[in-house]
Amino acid sequence: MSHSVDEPWLLGLPKVELHLHLEGSMGVETVRSLADRHGANTTEIWPEGLPERFSFDGFPDFARQFFFGLGLLRSGEDLATATADLAATLAKQHCRYAEVTTTAYTHFVGRDGQPGMAPSEYREGLNEGRRRARDLGVSLSWVIDIPRDLEPPDSTVTVDYLEGSQTPDGLVAIGLGGYEVGFPAAPYAPHFGRAMALGLHSVPHAGETEGAHSVRSAVEDLSADRIGHGVRCLEDPNLVSLLVERQTMLEVCPTSNDLLQVVESTDQHPLPALVEAGLNVSISTDDPGWFATDLTNELRIAASLLRATPESMVGLQQSALDASFAPDDERRAIAAELSSVPVS
């Protein structure tokens, strides 16, 4: 880490986060609380009891743990609990505003014998969680994504929901998540067209487990306002030029890229090359509970990779704010805070 960006300063820096998943934010204590609430047997996944922090050996092990946690979100109150727990963590990081992705489809269809949640209950759970977050000083907006590896293009569960009357307050965008390999973005263009006709923004994942062609498709077929991850855009110089010209924000998540083997290690993360190429980047956590990270830690990694100064770290937060869909009054308040951060 750059010696000029010390830990107390970084922790106190007002922050904006653009890429994190509600279902991926569940830490050990949230899982413990929800498991106790539902009488769920955690030893099925963790025979020696819940660990102090989650870890996993490759993607299948991660998925096994993740879907156990997902199965604990059975009611609106469970969603409110998870959201409030996430907000408490964000508040400790001095995060003022976050855009949180949630996957409605996985709650509506049910799993492992559990019935699906009614859209009205899903809405009320998210709204209550958002109210609790506001009480902690954290403003949340929602992104609802299509899980491409679960909801095929001929299904319209998610976009039908977006067009209905039961969406949560603070909904700003549609996303496209899930495993990229074998699940291209282009077939979802009609879904995104319908969502954008409602005034929603487009923030698909791309260039994480697939190459630059996936990023190009997100831009050209889904009219992406921002790209979730996008680190593999560097494989195509012409694409890099397009992204630079448009200043399309890449939501970069270093620990996630390391743990899911997108990169060999955080030390070899392409963040410096992205910045050097003139690309617009922000730093996020992705699945902070499962990856045992937080926004301060991700910014610490970024500061080390970029040999950053305090000025450049403030600049990263301003860039994230500029690329956010925050209401104008909140945008002005956070910008004022950032302008008053001491940098020397």
Write out the catalytic residue numbers: 208
Q: How many CB atoms lie within 10 A of CB 114?
A: 15
CA distances from 304 to 12, 245, 254, 309, 332 (A): 18, 27, 12, 10, 29
Which DSSP string do the residues of 244-286 spell out, in sequence order? HHHTPEEEE-HHHHHHTTSSS-GGG-SHHHHHHTT-EEEE--B
Residue among 218, 254, 255, 222 nearest 233 (CA): 218
C-alpha dihedral over 238, 208, 73, 189, to 10 degrees?
40
**Cβ-based neighbours of 137, under 8 Å, separated by 6 or more:** 91, 96
Token look-up 């489809």 returns: 105
